[in-house]
Amino acid sequence: MRLTSRLVPVVFLAACNGPGPDYAQVFAGATGEWIDLTHAYGPSTIYWPTDTAGFRLTQLAYGPTDGGFFYSSYEFATAEHGGTHLDAPIHFAEGRRTTDQIPLSDLMGPAAVVDVSSRAHADYLVTVADLEAWEVAHGTLPDGGILLLRTGWGEKWSDRVDYLGTALIGPDAVPELHFPGLAPEAATWLVENRNLAAVGIDTPSIDYGQSEDFQSHVTLYSADLAGFENVANLERLPESGAFVVALPMKIEGGSGGPLRIVAFVPTGS
């Protein structure tokens, strides 16, 4: 959908609610397109292999009522870490922020899309050199920004085996996982040298599939950064110039949760 200037004030107020950078120039008079970066939840939603229950949607009511009106209602159940979802810092860092404690200012900001899809393979690690190459082209990663790593794996979402690297489920599947992730050295470089709000990726995990110690998770989340996993449609974003809004289900004390993440791409970006 195309954004018209009539919608700008609403978006602007949301972006400026709470502490953080002033993003007035992002939306002031801007036109552009909203891109949905979220996979829908349903029977085919991909979860970590040890979360075997998947997404459950149970119909409670559907149809005409005695009062003469139509009514539908469902209940759902899901693990926190499946589909397009948030990792709250506490997921891998004791004492860090839970899902409900993450401020809005850390869930929205300018997007930096580091695209390694042309060279990524099933065990690829996004390196410091990849991040520095983005900066050569676009300038320093933005303060308060959201780094999105495009490996190309999001385009494999419809094929669970291709996406995860294995058809197994349960604990036996974990050693067989193969998909790209962020190198621990690159996570350390980001924490020590840049001031991001969050890091997202189009794979099931910030760490690559063969990780055994999840050090990229530990490093980023110990610094209270948020993580977004299984992000969709990154091929539709420019490497620079988009603005991301990522709003998770606000679960009190949670370590993550389902995430609706979208990006605004101004005309000409």
* Residue 18's CATH number: 3.50.30.50
Q: Mean pLDDT over residues 84-107, rounded?
A: 97
Residue 203 falls inside a structural domain? yes
**What are the backbone angles phi and psi of residue 10, rounded to the nearest 5°?**
-65, -50
Q: What is the pLDDT of residue 268?
A: 81
Domains in the chain, number: 1
Domain annotation covers residue 217:
yes
Q: What is the mean pLDDT of residues 207-226?
A: 98
Find the mean pLDDT for residues 101-105.
96
- The mean pLDDT of 201-230, rounded to a whole number, is 98
- Please report which residue ranges of 28-169 form alpha helices under DSSP H: 128-138, 160-164
Contact 243, 211 (CB under 8 A): no
* 211 located within any domain: yes
Residue 68 lies in a domain: no
User: How much is the pLDDT for 22?
Assistant: 58
Residue 74 lies in a domain: no
Report the share of the chain in percent with pLDDT over 70.
89
User: Given a cut of 70, is residue 9 above it in pLDDT?
Assistant: no
Q: What is the mean pLDDT of residues 218-243?
A: 98
What 3-state class would DSSP assign to 250? coil
> Residue 212 has what DSSP assignment?
S
| Cα gap 78→75, rounded to integer Å | 10
Asked if pLDDT for residue 122 goes beyond 60, the answer is yes
Cβ proximity of 245 and 262 under 8 Å: yes
Span 62-78, mean pLDDT? Answer: 97
28 has pLDDT over 90: no
Which secondary structure element, helix H or strand E, spans residue 188, and what is its range?
A: helix 184-193
Give the 3-state secondary structure of residue 136: helix
User: 31: pLDDT confidence band, cut at 50, 70 and 90?
Assistant: confident
pTM of the shown model: 0.90
DSSP string, 78-102: --SSBSSEEE-GGGTSTTS--GGGS
Count of CB atoms within 10 A of residue 77's CB?
10
Residue 66 lies in a domain: no
Domain that holds residue 171: 2-51+79-266
Other Cβ atoms less than 10 A from the Cβ of 243: the count is 24
60 found inside a domain: no
List, for residues 164-204, the tens digit of each pLDDT value: 999 999 999 999 999 999 999 999 999 999 999 999 999 99
Q: Helix, strand, or coil here: 8?
A: helix
106 within a domain of the structure (yes/no)? yes
**From CA 47, how far away is CA 176, in angstroms rounded?**
15
126's CB contacts (< 8 A; 6+ apart) are: 114, 116, 149, 151, 180, 181, 182, 183, 186
* pLDDT tens by residue, 12-25: 333 344 445 556 65
